[in-house]
Amino acid sequence: MKRISILVSAATVACAIAAMLLAAGSANKEASPIFGVTIPPGYRDWRVISVAHEAGNNDDLRAILGNDVAIKAYRDGKLPFPDGAIIARLAWSYVPSEENNKVFGRAQSFVAGPPINIQFGVKDSKKYASTGGWGFAQFDNGRPADEALHKTCFPCHEANAKRRDLVFTRYAP
């Protein structure tokens, strides 16, 4: 009888752990308002399209990544981007590297600091026909930014990157 109690207790603990892991795994499934874009699994393994330093309000370092469809379109010079292309923009604060500056003997090195946010552009010409074929998302600390921010995505891209299928970033080979 004691053995059965131990087995039942162990099974209960295993089920509880499994439930917590499943819940944690689905935390990134929150979708952006308006567009319904979620954080794509494995996006941190995508290839680099380009990098940037924005010296504006955020003063950030950015890495722009693309899934296989986006990378192929960039390399082939294909515009408009085909459906299925996803472009990610990751931003970190821009901070001096004390460690590197000691090596160089002067202040000259900057590195990525704490993350600021991530953004995604998802190409689906039917689903997002009213916004030039693109769905947009920004996530702060893993959570979608508010609707007001998402309302600014399409107008900004349309006004500033219309000739490049609403994409700001150029490919850096």
pLDDT digits (tens, 9 = 90+) for 119-168: 999 999 999 999 999 999 999 999 999 999 999 999 999 999 999 999 99
Q: How confident is the model at residue 173 (pLDDT cuts 50, 70, 90)?
A: confident
| One domain, residues 115 and 104 | yes
The answer as to whether 171 is a domain residue is no
The answer as to whether 173 is a domain residue is no
| One domain, residues 78 and 140 | yes
Q: Which domain holds residue 137?
A: 31-164
- Secondary structure (3-state) at 171: coil
Q: How confident is the model at residue 57 (pLDDT cuts 50, 70, 90)?
A: confident
Predicted pLDDT at 28: 53
Tally the domains of the chain: 2
82 pairs with which residues across the strands?
A: none
Q: How confident is the model at residue 24 (pLDDT cuts 50, 70, 90)?
A: very low
pLDDT digits (tens, 9 = 90+) for 81-105: 999 999 999 999 999 999 999 999 9
Which of the 8 DSSP states describes residue 79? S
Q: How far is residue 165 from each of residues 4, 33, 133, 146, measured CA to CA in Å?
A: 64, 22, 9, 25
Evaluate if residue 14 carries a pLDDT over 80: no
| One domain, residues 56 and 16 | no
